[in-house]
Amino acid sequence: MDLENSIVELVSEETDKPALATSKFEDLTDSLEFLDLIEKVEDTFSVKIDDTEFEQLVTVADLVAMVKAKKN
């Protein structure tokens, strides 16, 4: 499974909602669930996402792009 599908699947599992790359986090999580999700992504993909970067994360696609950039 490629990185995008893995992240979309993880987001769906963690939020118990069917997520797409275009899904907005504000439609998927409250503030604390968002933190849980970011921490799960950090653990799963061995990346560190700084809180100063949270503003860039509007959609799941933004998260995919950020994780990809950090993995490269």
The dihedral region occupied by 20, where left means phi > 0, alpha psi between -120 and 50, and beta the remainder, is beta
Q: Does the footprint of another protein cover residue 25 (CB under 8 A)?
A: yes
Query: CB 30 → another protein: shortest distance, Å?
Result: 5
Are 57 and 25 in contact by the 8 Å Cβ rule? The answer is: yes
In the region spanning residues 2 to 21, those forming contacts with another protein, defined by CB under 8 A, are: none
Q: In this structure, what are the phi and psi dihedrals at residue 11, rounded to the nearest 5 degrees? A: -60, -40
Q: Is 26 in the site for another protein (CB under 8 A)?
A: yes
Note the residues at the interface with another protein (CB under 8 A).
24-32, 34-35, 51-52, 54-55, 57-58
